[in-house]
Chains A and B, each alone.
Chain A
Amino acid sequence: MIEIVEKLNLASISVPLIILIVSLWVLIGSVLLPVEKRHFTGIISFFGLIASLLYLWGIKDADITGFGNAVSLNGFSIFLWFIILAITLSVISVSQRFVEDAEIQQGEYNFFLLIATTGLLFIVASQDLIMIFISLEILSLSVYILAGIRRTSAGAESALKYFILGSLGAGMLVMGIALIYGSTGTVNISMLKILLQRVDKTPVLLAGIIFVVSGLAFKVALVPFHMWVPDVYEGSPTPVSGFMAGGVKAGGVIALLRVFNALPFEPYSELFWWLSAITMITGNLMALPQTSIKRILAYSSVAHAGYMMIGFLGGESGAGAVIFYIIVYAASTMGAFFVVMLLERMETGTTLEDIAGLSKRHPYLSAVMAVFLFSLAGIPPLAGFFGKFYIFASAVAQGYTGLVIIGVIMSVVSLYYYLRIIVAMYMEETVIELIPREYKSVRFVVFILMLISILFGLLSDPVISSARAVVKYLM
């Protein structure tokens, strides 16, 4: 028995284990604590996350594998664990008061958020397809619940839609894995990388690969697998939408990146070329006519997944650029969602009309929101520009100039809908006197995210260097 445990090498999953234990404490707390003291679950989660970040700092040079090569703890997973824990930490910190005011079960909320985080942590560390599938499902199932945790009709609709389409994606993914396993006899990604170069391209194998890519494309919300995004992002509680746009998307992108790297470059790169192009074009064009800010941000998150796909084609430096992009994109998009959260009325969300003339009454909030939006649009000197720049540069280096031209033109298109929000805040007259929520913790988190959105670009040298260093483990 002890031998088996030793073989498993539990140290390789130490951080997800810590989060799992914290989440169990939260669960117990949410049952045992009286209703008025349930905010302790938030405090437990917060300090649990802080503790695991500190622990992660302590083991930052580790390089071990466990569970029969299914999980690996190396520079790459550690770097991404930092990002994921930071994302969850910010979501947990901004949610507590909001959850209380929205009359959401606080204990359950924190529990599922932590479980989702565990799933995310596993995804980035997984070394085989089964592990990716399982961790994606851990993540997805908890996010389905989070999407509908507010028991309104919009929440229920969003959860159901997400669940049905997400299950379809999961079904495709597992089907694809089965087909690949049937043709090659392995699910280990590094083994696959070698085998796929050698085995014949049978229709079964091809179908398996297409299924796996489509299944993951569902999770990342690449066009044409994006239909659930706007409704789900709109119907979910806003901090959860932020978590989906920042965290869940990051997990999906990393899983897809792993699969992409295992595939032979030809002919699959062409598949990703097209996925990227139609995702950018559709996402950006669909965002243009929206009037709800959450829907605009939802479509923008679709479009940004398209930009990240460009980086896939950029080889090793492209992968590094994608990691960097995940950081700056998560900071800006979550920041934007959090500002929306401060402004929205509980039931209806926020429309462009609601924020008209906001800058007159709330100059700070509008300025912060403008920073996030300009960063998402990729205007220098903000971090979003550098994210796009590194991705585009890596793709141009590999000769994908055509795709990059589509990318830059679509960024100009995206500018239009981001500007619409800024126009409403700065240049239109007030229609409705919105009273933003006075959550101190949110203001603090939003301020940090703003600093990241401003400074990570100009001072990006250390970040991009370490992102490029850690992707060596992927290759």
Chain B
Amino acid sequence: MDYLFSNIITIVIFLPLAGAIILIFFPKDKTNLIKNFAFLVSIATFILSLFLYSGYDELSPEMQFVVNLAWLREFGSSYHVGIDGISLFMVILTTFLTPISILSSYNYIKEKEKEYYISLLLLETGMNGVFVALDMLLFYLFWEAMLIPMYIIIGVWGGPRRIYAAVKFFIYTMIGSVLMLVAILVIYFLHQKQTGIYSFNIFDFYNTSIPAEYQLLMFLAFALAFAIKVPMFPFHTWLPDAHVEAPTAGSVILAGVLLKMGVYGFIRFAVPLFPEVALELAPYIALLGVIGIIYGSLVAWSQQDVKKLVAYSSVAHLGAVMLGLFSYNVAGVEGAILQMVNHGLSTGALFLLVGMLYERRHTRMIDDYGGIARVVPVFSAFFMIVMLSSIGLPGLNGFVGEFLILFGAFQRFPVLAILGVSGVILSAVYMLSMYQRVVFGKLVHEENKKMKDVNLREWLYMLPVLIMIVFIGLYPSPFLKKMEVSVKQYLTYTLKNAQIQKIQPPVENKMEKEIQE
């Protein structure tokens, strides 16, 4: 049992892969069996990942559950995984959303079911791997490998323009990451020259001193890869296409987890590797974040398609996350991480709800609905809660994250924070007006009168999300506590290293104090 427990990370990563391999041998026409098997595998993964949560020692800043096995010996690359208070939440978010998206696909996916569930399980392995890898090569491997199943999910089971969207998604994200690969190699050889040891260990990378003239370029190589994934304005153009064309589960995973990989990349790699460049560029990145908030909200406001609206709202939310992350204080970073989880829950849920609408009426246009509150009251109530959480209504999860982000950002970039607040207002504008036009008003369309309300399966996958939305909103402290030590460690590290090599601006002294408190 101890052995199992110490390798629980490995099991959480590879259990879905094992499930996918077993699925290959299932007969093609036994679709119920395939669905249920995939669901069981993902639920089992989720339950196992809860052991990570319960076993995580929140007082220790070290990586936990570490497994380090030799892999490519000559290159110094190893199978090295572990979690801290930041990746913990990302992993659990992944394992939480995967069974939900599998359950939501039961009726939506009607052809090539076997391949579909295989792709989803492979995707889960890739995503978990990205969040726990502590070896640069291993990280890159998962980071890229995950593109294949996502590409296939969008391209095969997507909407009418799915091919365009899938190819765009794949090539766009690939361009960003290949340059990162070159930067990884450069650091790898720098480290080898400095110490004589070949190693892809992320902590060895942290300790490599990089000549000042390369730093900016290499930071940009990393930042481009992650900024495309986030997606930060102006690298967001793949997102609306991919979101709109992807099947519901694809959108849920895309919004819920994939976008987080970009932000996570900044936290784990781009910022700690180049602390001083990151600090120097922080205002610009934060500015891009704020532009993302305002631009995303304005574009979302003008959408006629509910799914597109939700997709653009993602751009806005992730802009806020970047603003919080680059304000370099505990509140901002904790808010950013919590907001990633919140966004995964509420935007994921919004996509699920849009998917339910689409399954019933085969349209996503706002004008095709109206007044459905009377026909589908439970659905409308769900929609209401989720929508309010996305806006950031106090008492629901969105509020906590946004508040922390704006609170943190205000201390460092007051002007940007004030502009960022407008995002909250704008999100209320577009969300409420969309909700009003879809749910309230007169029931104009004859077809809508026969809409069925939420069924048992839908209850089953919506309820956990709703519970989490309310729970985090009312009582976020257990989550914040788990991540606190890691966040402080991250900030101390990035700020300290930025100071060693540069005379720091006065702002940072204040923050140092704040961290020590």
Contacts and interface: CB of A to CB of B under 8 A. Distances in A.
B156 A465 contact: no
7 pairs of A and B residues whose beta carbons are closest in the complex: A408-B178, A396-B185, A380-B141, A380-B144, A427-B155, A380-B145, A397-B189
A385 interface: yes
A461 B71 contact: yes
18 contacts: A360-B112, A380-B140, A392-B182, A392-B185, A393-B75, A393-B185, A393-B189, A396-B182, A396-B189, A408-B181, A408-B182, A409-B178, A415-B171, A426-B152, A427-B156, A427-B163, A461-B71, A464-B74
A275 interface: no
Contact of B144 (A359, A379, A396, A405): A379
Contacts of B156: 426-427
B124 to A, nearest CB: 15
Interface string A410-435: 01100110010001001110000000
Contact of A412 (B72, B175, B192): B175
Interface size class of A (residues with CB under 8 A): 20 to 34
B188 A393 contact: yes
Interface residues of B, number: 37
B14 to A, nearest CB: 12
Interface in A215-234: none
A426 B112 CA distance: 10
B214 to A, nearest CB: 10
Contacts, number: 85
Contacts of B74: 461, 464-465, 468
Contacts of A374: 148
A382 to B, nearest CB: 8
B70 to A, nearest CB: 8
A143 B175 CA distance: 38
Contacts of B189: 393, 396-397
Given A380-B141, A461-B73, A419 B170 contact: yes
A468 B181 CA distance: 22
A412 B174 contact: yes
B307 interface: no
Interface in B132-150: 137, 140-142, 144-145, 147-148
Interface of A: 359-360, 363, 374, 379-381, 385, 389, 392-393, 396-397, 401, 404-405, 408-409, 411-412, 415-416, 419, 423, 426-428, 460-461, 464-465, 468
Contacts of B140: 380
A129 B159 CA distance: 59
B162 A427 contact: yes
A460 B72 contact: yes
B458 interface: no
B186 interface: yes
A411 B178 CA distance: 9
B315 interface: no
B30 to A, nearest CB: 15
A90 B30 CA distance: 36
B179 interface: yes
B115 interface: yes
B277 to A, nearest CB: 18
A423 B167 CA distance: 9
B83 interface: no
Contacts of A392: 181-182, 185
Contacts of B75: 393
Interface string B455-466: 000000000000
A43 to B, nearest CB: 33
Given A360-B112, A393-B188, A408-B178, A381 B155 contact: no
Nearest to B162: A427
Interface string B405-448: 00000000000000000000000000000000000000000000
B16 to A, nearest CB: 15
A379 B145 contact: yes
B144 A385 contact: yes
B298 interface: no
A396 B186 CA distance: 6
A468 B75 CA distance: 12
B224 interface: no
A396 to B, nearest CB: 4
Contacts of B15: none
Contacts of B73: 461, 465
A404 B182 contact: yes
Given A380-B140, A419-B167, A427-B156, A408 B179 contact: yes
Contact of B171 (A405, A408, A412): A412
Find the residue from B73, B185, B192 having the highest chain A CB count within 10 A.
B185
Given A427-B166, A428-B163, 4 more contacts: A380-B145, A385-B144, A393-B188, A426-B155
Interface in B106-159: 112, 115, 137, 140-142, 144-145, 147-148, 151-152, 155-156
A339 B171 CA distance: 25
Nearest to A392: B185
B163 A423 contact: yes
A416 B169 CA distance: 11
Contacts of B179: 405, 408
Nearest to B180: A408
Interface string B381-407: 000000000000000000000000000
Contacts of B144: 379-380, 385
Contacts of A464: 72, 74
A391 to B, nearest CB: 11
Given A423-B155, A465-B74, A415 B170 contact: yes
Interface in B69-124: 71-75, 112, 115
B131 to A, nearest CB: 16
Nearest to B77: A461
A377 B71 CA distance: 23
A451 B410 CA distance: 55
B39 to A, nearest CB: 22
Nearest to A464: B74
B170 A404 contact: no
Given A412-B175, A427-B156, A401 B170 contact: no
B152 A401 contact: no
A422 to B, nearest CB: 8
Contacts of A404: 182, 185
A422 B77 CA distance: 31
Contacts of A405: 179, 182
Given A380-B144, A409-B178, A401 B186 contact: yes
Nearest to B111: A360
A200 B140 CA distance: 48
B130 to A, nearest CB: 12
A153 B186 CA distance: 51
A461 B130 CA distance: 22
A461 B72 contact: yes
Find the residue from A381, A404, A428 having the highest chain B CB count within 10 A.
A381
Find the residue from A380, A409, A419, A423 having the highest chain B CB count within 10 A.
A380
Nearest to B181: A408
A379 B147 contact: yes
Given A426-B155, A427-B156, A427-B166, A415 B185 contact: no
A381 B188 contact: no
B198 to A, nearest CB: 10
Contacts of B174: 412, 415
Contacts of B166: 423, 427
B61 to A, nearest CB: 31
Given A396-B189, A461-B71, A381 B141 contact: yes
Nearest to B176: A412
Contacts of A465: 73-74
A416 B167 contact: yes
Contacts of A363: 28, 115
Contacts of B162: 427
A359 B116 CA distance: 13
Nearest to B189: A397
Contacts of B28: 363
A379 B166 CA distance: 16
Contacts of B72: 460-461, 464
